[in-house]
Structure 1
Amino acid sequence: MHKVSVIIPVYNVEKYICECLESVMAQTLSTGIECILVDDRGNDASMEAARKCIAGYSGPIKFQLVVRAENGGLSAARNTGINNAKGEYVYFLDSDDIITPDCLNLLVERASEYPDAEIVCGDFQTFPQKDVHKLISLQGKNFPESSFDKSWIRSVFLSSFPVIAWNKLIRTDFIRRNNLYFREGILHEDDHWHAQAYRHVSGLAFVNKVTYLYRMRPGSITMSDGVEERRLENMTLIFSEMFAKEVEWDKPWSDWILKSVGSLRYIGNKANIKEKAEHCVSQLLPTVYKNQSAPFILRLLFKYYFHNGVIFSSRLFYKLYAIYWKYKG
């Protein structure tokens, strides 16, 4: 059995795929690695470039090419990789990014020290320009080397723990046992996966070193023009599914709800689609009202109506308040 299955979804990255694969081939961890490339049916020569790159490799890493029947997006490609993985852990690597030579060695060493941790997380750096993304970086967070304290894990998992799927060793049986596959057909699949995992994770470990280099490029999904409206729609879908779950609404979960509604407001304001954001929020909150107490709901309403100036309209505020009385009055 392999120790790590590196899963690389491949879609229209002809220019970058060889650099990505070469970073895998350069790993100092010399045994126990398989690398699964999932062809998501792009329209360039990415897979031809990948095959040429692999053909010149004679090292110990086993490369496997899996061809999907049709394009399904990042989530579908990752799920295909999970279904084909034979490793104890999976490691997601985007095909336009690269990993440091000691990446897998550092993460596997930490996993060996804490075998009950379901997720082992390293740090990352953007390139070619260096930038710090505090929300998804380990920098300045002073996380312990590991934790199995349920209260601590829940206090950070939805707030300051990196939400991205890449640059983490994740136990394969943890994914399969809890059906933690990626929701297909949406943007922000990592947010959806992360919220699902919240109820199941019981152990985390950290490597406070840069092990992953994230490429900043204009053509990527997250940096494409006109993506904000679709982002708003997808986040609304994710939140509606998560809000409707019949789970314990503990403080971290409730705080995440507040943060989530606020993120819709932020996206709407940033992209000048305020009315659409208002509509999304009015769709979401009835689900919140059914699950939460009046003090929490009023806190939510006033927090996001008055916070940093009036973003939503007075019309929306009274509409939401009327819905509140429908469910709580």
Structure 2
Amino acid sequence: MTQEYPLVTIVITTFNCEQYVEETIQSAVDQDYPNLQIILVDDGSSDNTIALAERFLPKIEIVKQSNSGGPSKPRNTGLKMAKGVYISFLDGDDLLEPDRTRRQVEALEDHPDAAMCVGDYRNFKNGVVSEGHFSTCPQLSKEFQHSITKNTLIFPKGKAANLLLEENFSITVSVMYRTELVRNQNGFSEQLKACEDYHLNYRMAANHPVVVINEFVFRRRMHDSNVSSNTLSMLYHYTKSRILLMEQEDSPIRALKLRNRARSYFRSFVKLAIKKFQHERLLQALPLAADLYLKRMPSQKS
């Protein structure tokens, strides 16, 4: 590292996480890295989350706010408070690997042009831990096989965005960012209640180099309350996030791929909504249909 132990901010976001929050906070406190600012932003919990979190004072800072209905706003609250050169985000039920912060800081210090560092992660449920997420990403795996180090990839500006169009190898908690560059991108889109992490990571990758390390940085807890378990909602936000990216994409090729992917997600959304008799969701999605089928592509505008 070019600088010894630069300050890192970890933003933990919680909403009714009393069953898991102590273990999650402990995984942040136990990082083998000596210079941390840990901020817990609670998004209107009605259970015992805050009382349990207060046991960790003064090692952490706690912020309470009214429920926003999604993860973007509490993460942005933490982003505004962050003092660290680097920032990472931790959901209130997940667990960081002990060396996560140190490893990702080393990668970013070694590659000062990179805006973010992405690591691998594993899902776990009822004591069963899955294989790493990177093993489900064939193109990324191929990149590692062809790399000299086999452990670190450096993607120039735009290349990681091209890969994200094909396979999503990142998720919120697997990434460490340069704080100022995330602020330059205005953080997480509060228009999205899901897929906000893909939306941010794509924008970062489209505008900056990205470093990827083939190491596990956290464990993602799977349970029935996961937002990703609501397939209909996820398809809606898959579609909306790609439309938002399409509308600001400078590359005509990537904009076209985003539209095609959004249309594919939208067709799946419509089929599932009809199957589940969720006709009100179809009405909600009419603006998405207009964006996808009635508007011209940004590259086609004069």
Normalised TM-score (structure 2): 0.80
2:292 to 285, 295, 305: 285
Equivalent-residue separation in structure 1 for 2:240 and 2:269 (angstroms): 14
| Change over 3 Å in CA distance of 1:65–1:229 after alignment to 2 | same
Aligned match of 1:209: 215
2:189 match: 182
Q: How does 1:80-159 map to 2 (within 5 A)?
A: 80-128=77-125, 129-132=128-131, 133=133, 140-143=141-144, 144=147, 145-150=152-157, 152-159=159-166
Task: Give yes or no for contact 1:98–1:214 (8 Å, CA) kept in 2.
Answer: yes
Unpaired runs of 5+ residues, structure 1, are: 294-326
The answer on whether the counterparts of 2:79 and 2:187 sit within 8 Å (CA) in structure 1 is no
Write the distance in 2 (CA, Å) between the matches of 1:120 and 1:290. 31
Q: Which residue of 2 aligns with 1:19?
A: 23
Q: Deviations over 1:34-77 (max 9, x none)?
A: 1110021111000101112x15x8xxxx4211222x11131110
For residues 135 and 281 of structure 1, the distance between their equivalents in structure 2, rounded to whole angstroms, comes to: 33
SS of the residue corresponding to residue 166 of structure 1 reads helix
2:227 pairs with one of 213, 218, 221? 221
Task: Report the counterpart of residue 41 of structure 1 in structure 2.
Answer: 44
TM-align CA RMSD = 3.0
- Matching residue of 1:318: none
Aligned partners of 2:225 and 2:251: how far apart in 1?
39
Q: Residues 222 and 135 of structure 1: is their aligned pair in 2 closer, same or farther, counting only changes over 3 Å?
A: farther
Take 2:94 and 2:235, find their aligned partners in 1: how far apart are those partners? 26
Q: Distance in 2 between matches of 1:265 and 1:178?
A: 30
Equivalent residue pairs, number: 281
Contact 1:2–1:32 (8 Å) recurs in 2: yes
> CA shift at 1:231, angstroms?
3.5
Cα pair 1:36 1:81 within 8 Å, conserved: yes
SS at match of 1:117: coil
Is the CA contact (8 Å cut-off) linking 1:20 and 1:99 kept in structure 2?
Answer: yes
* Aligned amino acid, residue 183 of structure 1: E
The answer to whether the 8 Å contact 1:232/1:268 transfers is no
Percent identical pairs in the alignment equals 23
1:86 deviates by: 0.3
Specify the SS of the correspondent of 1:130: strand
| 1:265-323 deviations in Å (ceiling 9; x for gaps) | 23443552698399576423345534467xxxxxxxxxxxxxxxxxxxxxxxxxxxxxx
Which stretch shifts more, 147-156 or 110-119?
147-156
Given the superposition, is the C-alpha separation of residues 16 and 151 from structure 1 closer, same or farther in structure 2, using an over 3 Å criterion? closer
Q: TM-score, normalization: structure 1? A: 0.74
Change in 2 beyond 3 A, CA 1:2/1:48: farther
Which residue among 67, 74, 77 is the counterpart of 1:71? Answer: 67
Letter in 2 for 1:188: C
Is 160-169 or 231-240 further displaced after alignment? 231-240
| Cα deviation, residue 177, structure 1 | 2.2
CA distance in 1, matches of 2:291, 2:86: 36
